[in-house]
Structure 1
């Protein structure tokens, strides 16, 4: 169990740093809302899933899910050891 604990802890720290960096790289939601129209009318709004911003949002979403699952797994391991 100690090996699994160490591996999960290392992944947990790396994932936490990666999520923090990706969140800081994302643009604010207020950007792109100018007088010429909203995000939905722009080329980038229509193709957001293919853009860099879309990729960052996907990584944030799936990274946060993985972060929560690792947290739960680490909690279960520690509880089973009686710590």
Structure 2
């Protein structure tokens, strides 16, 4: 059972990394000063996808936290 939980925690961690990397940056950064922010003017990215990725990040983070705490409890180490 501990091995299964460890595998689930690793998979959740990889999914969180993937979802966070897939999200659009909230700040423009240095690229906006050189014309890199023009894509926002024309709405090249759907808002629905950003909302979905944001909710998915929260869900995966909560699941990761719960599984990590359960795994820590089973191993008697916090």
TM-score over 0.5 for the alignment?
Answer: yes
Name the CA distance, whole Å, in 1 between partners of 2:68 and 2:12.
Answer: 11
CA apart distance, 1:54: 0.7
Name the CA distance, whole Å, in 2 between partners of 1:30 and 1:75.
Answer: 36
Q: CA RMSD in A?
A: 2.2
CA apart distance, 1:19: 0.4
Secondary structure at the residue paired with 1:59?
Answer: helix
Structure showing greater relative contact order (alpha-carbon pairs closer than 8 Å, 6 or more residues apart): 2
Pick the aligned partner of 1:66 from 56, 63, 66: 63
* Unmatched runs of 5 consecutive residues or more in structure 1: 32-43
- Normalising by structure 2, what TM-score? 0.70
- Normalising by structure 1, what TM-score? 0.66
Name the CA distance, whole Å, in 1 between partners of 2:27 and 2:13.
Answer: 25
* Unmatched runs of 5 consecutive residues or more in structure 2: 29-42
Pick the aligned partner of 2:2 from 1, 5, 9: 5
Aligned length: 62
Deviating runs (4+, > 3 A) in structure 1? none
